Structure 1
């Protein structure tokens, strides 16, 4: 059946069903009357070349504005922007841009003119919840809902004089901003919106931030610190503490049980991990433990009369027609709407139908088949979950996990609204909160990215929220219950849903920041300021609201059954971390150790500086892999910064250019680590809104690894490093290991096939003197571990000895230009292996932490 025939058939069925809807088949006792739908019309474009000489750059500034353009050291990177824009210079390298429109509105679309750069990296919305990287060069390539933009202005980025510019949309005066493009204009636009038709302004101050510099990492760090000081709504990562769970190996129940989590399974999962020598020391009890339900649907009772009986028969006939329309409609959706362009006739038709007579049948369909329409009934655990626990008590169960299973931290999941669709207004547990149903109204920009938000369960059914002045009371109810049952922290999900709730609530910025700040206040009171993982939270309304919590999930989920998603998952996390990592420590999400791609997930997390936690099903583990991540005591060797792409691949599409590897760098306490991955062949397709494999046959790539790839090494230009390189096969096996001495710019060439990866540990070489003999030595780390160097806590080079403080147990790998005389641990002389060819020393360690002395 062709498209035209499909639409004609569907419209015939729909028209029959629509004729019956006035009879009101049934009603949902939880749903308040539908709010009128806000129709988004095309906002007039403001462009031109206006002059505002009050705040132009001075002759001494490096960032110069001449009224309609911005330049950095004679390179014009933004040209021809609207005369509605005003540039306010802050210092020689940065400026704010404000808007002064011709009339008040809740939404402004303003031309920023053309961009001039060699390449840009845009961090834009993938879905309501998440962002992902996008690369390009021209203004028309800027994706919708771009929240961060970094531009390389020079062709050669290896030079210290290379120029970069960042444009960061921010929040101001109740408005949020993003960057976008229009298909009919080679210009970049700023979309500035409140999300509430009742919140309108003509002037919005300081809504875009611009900064230029020669170091992209320093540029971003200074940008976010400046924004933190200016906005006062969030703090940068460096100013916040990290939760204790981040140093521990963890297990999450989600992919193991999904929402059917229960006590016996939790005990089995923890026991099987411990039996393999990798005990989980923190646990996330994910979705499934809460007391939730769908709204009830009832029909009014009627007297049994012939007339009422006739009406009931008519209603049943009507219900059948609507069900038929829904069945046909769902087939139509799967065939023509699901992957259609956001502006297609199919999407427009489906949006119209689901906002009218199909809305209730579709909502009921979602409630039958998903959890997203469910609401929280009480702050307590549900009866099914409690009955599955030994003793039937959550507090006793958590105590058992800690005393018998060695778990140190237990975290529980909840949505920012309590559950996916919030609170149930009729619930006796929440009557003191006076909850009501709030109707989401997605804004135009996010509908371009994810048009299905117009008909998803949250939009159709609304989200139940406590009365505005009772929000903090709600979080106290929920969190005090968990804390009284010995729970240590939270994973707070679905936060971006609040960016659809601006209408009638003062705008998306106000409502989102209010709930996040109150959630953080309650977290601080009950669990400590940082013991919370923020999740599904990438809109700037969320990111610019984290004052105390310091962990942010950095990408869409680990999808075990989507083969195209795994390489893109790692790429998205790495590039998102360039920006997110300035606000919080990026969390790379769970993974499964027995998955076919587990080796790339594991190695990425080893260099990511993040928590390491798996979602293995009980008895289904790859312990050979896990023991390279987890020490015997259940701790991990965490790198100290967010893992980020190296400077030479920031502006490279490492998924589709067929020649580049992703390189991720990080630092340990005494050395540094660099990993490279061949992740070519798949990406997220914005048009069809799905992960797509572009090539079944992925070419090998050649990657060059250098000490200078690690930013912290750049100040050590006269140093020498001993490099321990391991290469891992597509199946996860160690393929080869090698070692060499390098200077800052020396290159190590590695050939990587599809999904192969390698790790280089750079250990700085120390010079010792034994009489007239010069000795070179370096501490690499635990040879068996992916992040070997994370084990080295301190190195003290002395006249004729080197003291190394290390984690263990395991084999400590050292470089030494000569064979040591002895190795001691306190008063004990340790055995060691010396390789004359490699110039390496291997020392078996049996302790968890201690200091050895290598004597010459």
Structure 2
């Protein structure tokens, strides 16, 4: 799986099985290898990570070569800056069984060796990542006004989805090119046409992948030139450095990275590939920074597709709706009334069995994306078929496959959430069984360890599943919380979970029924937000307490689904719920 620079600023994924399949300008390469006698067993796989690096004035990238060779391309962007040898232009690391550990280990080892960057886990995230936001770009494009911004904020607040941060994008000042003969009052020229030889050369790999960038006119205004900005940055020793580095080559302290090309509401070819590319890019970028999956429109044919992906991404969530053009039913699946969001704890990434499939091109694969909360996991399943980057046409294009016209089916396992065991409160004793709540249908199933659930989706359809490890309190007494079941990542609402076994557990009969009226156990939970709270219980609760008050609940004996209503936001940070079993 290669992440390559298909445009000047953006990277996307490409899958293959030989060196010649690696595109030019590949920034990250993950390879799966199996022993000759492995027989397809997962535990016989090992994973190799290739990280091309920056060395001095040079930067590396990977590409396929003649005879399916894998080549390292090292370039400075300046014909006068040359070198005959390199010592640290590529890092390679390997690990058995776990591809995510292989990537994390390789990046951590490179960080320890180079000491030129910090890991995502070492950086402090800005507070806005836990809040809902609004961006002006797709609302106004370059016609940004104070009245328009205020109208957009008022309409979101009135609908119950108050943004807590605002991105005022391009358009707040003029970006139009001045006339060539424009002069200031003192007669000085306001516009400087940048000389071609003062700009770093476009990388040959970028020129091949995105030929249009070779035609870019680089322009610098006089006030920038007066400040010493002339289209290049001089480093010690007068070594020229690119100003147009790809988005992942950012300063040491940057904690959030834009992980995909723009959300393009008017371009129907862009929507499925946007979700797929951002998920695969996050395998790489998520080790350095928290990936930002970009804005979306809540009132759009693909709104639920995009919105659900943002909700489980682990990154910031914000829309670019025009004032008054909102789908509040959708937004309330993402945003709490106080403007906060239920953010997952990691960068979302494709599941292990999807890392080397091509869910945008192969016509048979669905994309599964996993993430973690404190006491639950979350899975998103997406049909991304039908559009991908064309190496012939140099743009994203529709292509016809069976998967772009018919429903595709995949198998979902609880273990697809790669770190699901961390959500169990009793890891040594947990047997791997999970309760799985399907957001699309409102149904849930019990998945024993290793069991699979089939899911079928058409193009631009998705399903979100909350995966909750089942706690066996006593024989016949089982429990698993789902969280706020009307929200995409409702499992993140569960911030505290403690199980207590009571004396009644000692009175269970051989048929797993209690021989007295005593309680068997207590489930104590701290829950953030409001709305319908759901959980699985193998027996009907004796009672449910919300704080010091007993509250009503519903129980479906046929399924074991418990639901109680949290009617408002908690007075403190969380609701304190106790379920007596």
Please indicate, yes or no, whether the TM-score normalized by the shorter chain is above 0.5: yes
Deviation at 1:665, TM superposition (A): 0.1
Deviation at 1:681, TM superposition (A): 1.0
1:841 corresponds to = 562
Contact 2:366 2:381 in 1 (8 A): yes
- 1:624-667: CA deviation from partner (whole Å, max 9, x where unpaired): 11111111111111111000000001000101211110000000
Structure 1's unaligned 5+ residue stretches are: 1-120, 301-376, 378-424, 475-496, 513-536, 728-735
User: Partners in 2 of 1:222 and 1:704 — Cα distance?
Assistant: 29
Deviation at 1:204, TM superposition (A): 1.3
1:446 corresponds to = 206
Larger Rg: 1
Deviates more, 1:714-723 or 1:627-636: 714-723
Taking structure 2 as the reference length, the TM-score comes to: 0.87
User: Partners in 2 of 1:677 and 1:633 — Cα distance?
Assistant: 29
Structure 2 residue aligned with 1:796, among 488, 498, 515?
Answer: 498
Asked if 1:854 is matched to 2:571, the reply is no
Change (3 A) 1:436 1:135: closer
List aligned pairs for 1:282-301, cutoff 5 A: 282-290=165-173, 292=175, 294-298=177-181
Change (3 A) 1:829 1:135: same
Deviation at 1:185, TM superposition (A): 4.3
Deviation at 1:274, TM superposition (A): 1.4
User: Partners in 2 of 1:505 and 1:687 — Cα distance?
Assistant: 39
Deviation at 1:436, TM superposition (A): 10
Asked if 1:507 is matched to 2:240, the reply is yes
Structure 2 residue aligned with 1:279, among 145, 148, 162?
Answer: 162
Aligned length: 540
| Structure 1 vs Structure 2 CA RMSD | 2.8
Contact 1:234 1:544 in 2 (8 A): no
Deviation at 1:210, TM superposition (A): 0.8
Question: Could you say which structure has the higher helix fraction?
Answer: 1
Asked if 1:752 is matched to 2:457, the reply is yes
User: Partners in 2 of 1:208 and 1:129 — Cα distance?
Assistant: 21
Contact 2:367 2:383 in 1 (8 A): yes
Structure 2 residue aligned with 1:705, among 412, 428, 433?
Answer: 412
3-state SS of the aligned residue for 1:758? Answer: strand
Deviation at 1:572, TM superposition (A): 0.5
List aligned pairs for 1:19-38, cutoff 5 A: none
Deviation at 1:297, TM superposition (A): 1.8
Change (3 A) 1:627 1:545: closer
Structure 2 residue aligned with 1:148, among 16, 19, 28?
Answer: 28
User: Partners in 1 of 2:39 and 2:123 — Cα distance?
Assistant: 36
Structure 2 residue aligned with 1:208, among 76, 90, 103?
Answer: 90
User: Partners in 2 of 1:855 and 1:822 — Cα distance?
Assistant: 5
Deviation at 1:299, TM superposition (A): 10
User: Partners in 2 of 1:464 and 1:572 — Cα distance?
Assistant: 38
Asked if 1:620 is matched to 2:334, the reply is no
3-state SS of the aligned residue for 2:272? Answer: helix
Asked if 1:186 is matched to 2:56, the reply is no
User: Partners in 2 of 1:551 and 1:464 — Cα distance?
Assistant: 31
Contact 1:167 1:210 in 2 (8 A): yes
3-state SS of the aligned residue for 2:148? Answer: helix
Change (3 A) 1:608 1:828: same
Asked if 1:139 is matched to 2:22, the reply is no
2:437 corresponds to = 724
Deviation at 1:683, TM superposition (A): 0.9
Change (3 A) 1:602 1:140: same
List aligned pairs for 1:249-288, cutoff 5 A: 249-288=132-171
Contact 1:722 1:741 in 2 (8 A): yes
3-state SS of the aligned residue for 1:684? Answer: strand
3-state SS of the aligned residue for 2:280? Answer: helix
Deviation at 1:711, TM superposition (A): 1.3
Deviates more, 1:648-657 or 1:838-847: 838-847
User: Partners in 2 of 1:465 and 1:649 — Cα distance?
Assistant: 50
Structure 2 residue aligned with 1:829, among 550, 565, 576?
Answer: 550
Taking structure 1 as the reference length, the TM-score comes to: 0.60
2:215 corresponds to = 455
Deviation at 1:604, TM superposition (A): 0.8
1:248 corresponds to = 131
